[in-house]
Amino acid sequence: MLSNLIQAVFLGGYYAMVACGLSFMFSVMRIINLAHGSLAILSAYLLYVLAQKFNINPFLGLLIVVPVMATLGWILQRYLLDRSAKGGELLPVLTTFGIAIVLDNLMFQRFGADTRSLAPYIGDLSWASYALPGGLFVGKLQILVLMTVIVVIGALQLFLKKTQLGRSIRATAMDPDTAGLVGIDAKRATAAATAIAMATVALAGAFLGMRATFEPYSGTPQLLAAFEATVIGGIGSLWGTLAGGIILAIAQTLGASVHPQGFLLGGHLAFLIVLFFRLHRNRDAILTWLRVRTA
Amino acid sequence: MTGAFVVERWTTASRIGFLVIAFAIVVLVAAPIVLKAGTLDRLTALFIYVMLAAMWNALAGYGGLVSIGQQLFFGLGAYFTVRLADAGLNPFASTIAAALIVAGIAWAMSHFMLQLRGGEFAIGMWVLSELTHLLVNLDRLVQGETGTSLISMNVYDPDNRRIAIYLLAFGIMVALLGALYALLRSKSGAAIQAIRDNEVAATSVGVDVLKTKRILFVLAAFGIGLAGALWLCSALTFQPKTYFSVQWTAYMIFMVLVGGIGKFEGAILGALLFFTIETWFGGTGVWYLIGLGLAAVVFSLFFPKGIWGAIEQRFGITLLPIGYRLKIIGGAE
């Protein structure tokens, strides 16, 4: 059981890695990015091509893929999302939904339905593990993922707090019009934020490919897990997203121990329970609820 | 202002529109006499798309409730139809009964879900849908992803069955659209549109926001449940994965936003467009989907109000008016 719990924490770290870009974009731009999962899969394929065709180790490949994805994010925000966000909160949903469909099917067209993995290109890292006292084993890759996500979230927090660009991103998130009044270029701030989010997506895609297999349509389950982690952790909080990912993974592990098909069920239930409790901790919500009950 | 005025609820265009609709209804009811089996099946699919689009539009366009989990009700509608038919109920009666059960479930669900805001509601619905999908898979009758079929349909002759399903789908579509239209033109309709425009302001003038949203939520669930049940009648096989697929909601979003969100005519137009694209390009598989995705991106960027929004803005036409127009007669204007 303890071993399962430890595995769950590491899995939670991976979920947080996938979710932190989504959470970041959602809290800064209020954009529900339905293409998030597909973009992670795209990064995984890019690394796969680099490894297979050019013999580039996926870790070195990240030196290429991270900037590529960041640039893509910049372009995405500047030329697509900024424009559609002007029409309200809903339109970016349509835009990113369209992008997701286009990406998924282009990848299918190019790579077919075969599942791929980056595991063969990273030596023994995908299965090597450290033995801990008490007969516990912890995978090296899992430790790397968890450490990376902690570093990424820490860096993002520092960046938002301490740098000029980070402060202008936060100001734009709070109130784009007023931010404009004090001389902040909102377009630049949001484009930079999306570029950063896409850089984390590149890392998420890399880890996805290293720890498991993927195919062109793998994006949707990733997207859902990312959403769950984000909402469980509380929208707008990056450390919360990490906690959310871990809670999600623990609930899934518990679910799996109850019933063979309980892995996903457990996660979904945890998501709903967390939402329910958060609502009812809020007094207004309780009052409305009571009013509805007695009405 | 000294001029007298009258409140108009109909326009000349809308009167003509109604005549056209009445004519179309007569033609479509009589259509099975001349149309081939394949065409009837396609038209049945079109009616189902119209239902889906109109219901998602009611929810998001009027109620401001953006859900990416409406496949929940689509899947449940089909599931309960299979379940009831398996228990011995007539398959056609099962579709209606199933949709009523779905509406009941939605009513119970609304007490919790309608408390959620924006993104939490949207994603919460998706999670609920995935959860329900997994639970349905646990049913012995469904046998996980293997699925099952609506076997009791076999007692009907295929040609008669096809016509019956066509007419049932058409009747239900007209009834749903009629009900929605009546709702939007009623006093609740004014409340609904007030909520769409500004929820806080609506509350301040005494609109019961929660109750109004609940009406829309349950109606949408009922309509989408019916759509799922009808799809099953037409397709006969029930595989949970196909029915609980997020694609259904994706199609709804596409139809509504491309047609024109918050416009009664827009959803119908969007469904027609989606149907046409599917009919022409559906055979091209992957490229069809890529085209659909590109269309979604292009529309969100260049026609944010959808096709109908653009038409209305440009020409000032309203075919199915739900609002009130003040027309000033005489006096100083």
Q: Give residue-wise pLDDT tens across range B52-69.
A: 999 999 998 888 888 889
Q: Residue A131's beta-bridge partner residues? A: A137
Asked if residue B3 has pLDDT above 70, the reply is: no
Asked if residue A229 has pLDDT above 60, the reply is: yes
* A98 in reach of chain B (CB within 8 A): yes
- So what's the pLDDT on residue A152? 94
Asked if residue A285 has pLDDT above 70, the reply is: no
The per-residue pLDDT of chain B, averaged, comes to 86
Asked if residue B73 has pLDDT above 90, the reply is: yes
Amino acid at B34: V
Please check whether residue A107 is in contact with residue A45, taking contact to mean a CB–CB distance below 8 angstroms.
yes
pLDDT, tens only, B150-178: 888 888 888 888 899 999 999 999 999 99
- According to DSSP, residue A237 is labeled -
Amino acid at B135: L
The per-residue pLDDT of chain A, averaged, comes to 87
How far are the Cα atoms of A38, A139, A211 from residue A208, in angstroms, in the given order?
12, 15, 6
**Residue of chain B minimizing CA distance to A90:** B66
Helix axes A2-29, A238-258, angle to 10 degrees: 140
Question: Coil, strand, or helix at residue A122?
Answer: coil
Question: Coil, strand, or helix at residue B329?
Answer: strand
At A63, is the pLDDT very low, low, confident or very high (cuts 50, 70, 90)? very high
Q: Which residues of A touch B250 (CB under 8 A)?
A: 97, 101
- So what's the pLDDT on residue B28? 84
Mean pLDDT of B11-27: 80
Which residue from A234, A240, A248 is spatially nearest to A9, judged by alpha carbons?
A248
Q: Count of CB atoms within 10 A of residue A250's CB?
A: 20
pLDDT, tens only, B171-202: 999 999 999 988 888 878 888 888 877 778 88
* A68 in reach of chain B (CB within 8 A): no
Count of structural domains within chain B: 1
Asked if residue A196 has pLDDT above 90, the reply is: yes
**Residue of chain A minimizing CA distance to B296:** A98
Which residue from A58, A39, A202 is spatially nearest to A120, judged by alpha carbons?
A58
Determine whether the interchain pair A91/B131 forms a contact, defined as Cβ–Cβ distance below 8 Å.
no
Asked if residue B94 has pLDDT above 50, the reply is: yes
User: Which helix H or strand E contains A111, and what residues bound it?
Assistant: helix A91-111
**Residue of chain B minimizing CA distance to A266:** B131
- So what's the pLDDT on residue A86? 80
Min Cα–Cα distance to chain B from A71, Å: 19
- So what's the pLDDT on residue B212? 87
At B145, is the pLDDT very low, low, confident or very high (cuts 50, 70, 90)? confident
- According to DSSP, residue B328 is labeled E
Higher pLDDT, B74 or B246: B74
**What CATH number did the domain enclosing B319 receive?**
1.10.3470
DSSP per-residue codes, A22-88:
HHHHHHHH----TTHHHHHHHHHHHHHHHHHHH---HHHHHHHHHHHHHHHHHHIIIIIIHHHHTT-
* A172 in reach of chain B (CB within 8 A): no
Asked if residue A126 has pLDDT above 80, the reply is: no
Mean pLDDT of A140-162: 91
Q: What is the distance in angstroms between the CA of the first residue and the CA of the last residue of chain B?
A: 7
Q: How many CB pairs under 8 A join A and B?
A: 128
Q: What percent of chain A has pLDDT over 90?
A: 44
Asked if residue A168 has pLDDT above 60, the reply is: yes
At A284, is the pLDDT very low, low, confident or very high (cuts 50, 70, 90)? low
Asked if residue B1 has pLDDT above 50, the reply is: no
Mean pLDDT of B310-315: 78
Burial grade of B100 (CB within 10 A; 0-12, 13-18, 19 or more): middle
- So what's the pLDDT on residue B150? 84
User: Residue B58 has which token pair?
Assistant: 């009611």
Helix axes A164-174, A140-162, angle to 10 degrees: 80
Min Cα–Cα distance to chain A from B164, Å: 35
- So what's the pLDDT on residue A244? 93
How far are the Cα atoms of B212, B308, B316 from residue B311, in angstroms, in the given order?
29, 5, 7
Q: What percent of chain A has pLDDT over 70?
A: 95
Mean pLDDT of B270-282: 89
Sequence-distant (6+) residues with CB within 8 A of B46 are B271, B272, B275
ipTM for the predicted complex comes to 0.84
Q: Count of CB atoms within 10 A of residue B295's CB?
A: 19
B297, B298, B299, B302: which to substitute to probe chain A, counting the most A Cβ within 10 Å? B297
Nearest to A292 among B111, B130, B305 (CB): B111
For A8-47, letters b (16+ CB in 10 Å) and e give bbbbbbbbbbbbbbbbbbbbbbebbbbbbbbbbbbbbbbb
Higher pLDDT, B151 or A37: A37
- So what's the pLDDT on residue A131? 78
* Spatial separation of the C-alpha atoms in residues A245 and B14, rounded to whole Å: 53
* Spatial separation of the C-alpha atoms in residues B277 and B300, rounded to whole Å: 17
Mean pLDDT of A78-94: 83
Nearest to B115 among A98, A100, A285 (CB): A285
* Spatial separation of the C-alpha atoms in residues A229 and A224, rounded to whole Å: 9
At A291, is the pLDDT very low, low, confident or very high (cuts 50, 70, 90)? low
At B332, is the pLDDT very low, low, confident or very high (cuts 50, 70, 90)? very low
Residue span of the structural domain in which B182 resides: 4-329
Q: Which residues of B touch A265 (CB under 8 A)?
A: 131, 134-135
A23-37, A42-56, B97-111, B215-229: least confidently modelled range: A23-37
Mean pLDDT of B246-273: 90
* A75 in reach of chain B (CB within 8 A): no
* Spatial separation of the C-alpha atoms in residues B44 and B110, rounded to whole Å: 30
Which residue from A200, A203, A174, A204 is spatially nearest to A189, judged by alpha carbons?
A174
Please check whether residue A12 is in contact with residue A250, taking contact to mean a CB–CB distance below 8 angstroms.
yes
Amino acid at B242: T
Asked if residue A89 has pLDDT above 80, the reply is: no
- So what's the pLDDT on residue B2? 52
Q: Which residues of A touch B64 (CB under 8 A)?
A: none
How far are the Cα atoms of A54, A288, B102 from residue A293, in angstroms, in the given order?
64, 9, 21
Please check whether residue A49 is in contact with residue A184, taking contact to mean a CB–CB distance below 8 angstroms.
no
Asked if residue B101 has pLDDT above 90, the reply is: yes
Asked if residue B223 has pLDDT above 90, the reply is: yes
Please check whether residue A98 is in contact with residue B300, taking contact to mean a CB–CB distance below 8 angstroms.
yes
Query: Could you tell me the residue ranges of all domains in chain A?
Result: 2-217
User: Residue B242 has which token pair?
Assistant: 């196909």
At B333, is the pLDDT very low, low, confident or very high (cuts 50, 70, 90)? very low
- So what's the pLDDT on residue B110? 92
A94, A231, A281: which to substitute to probe chain B, counting the most B Cβ within 10 Å? A94
Half-sphere exposure of A229 (CA within 13 A, CB side): 31
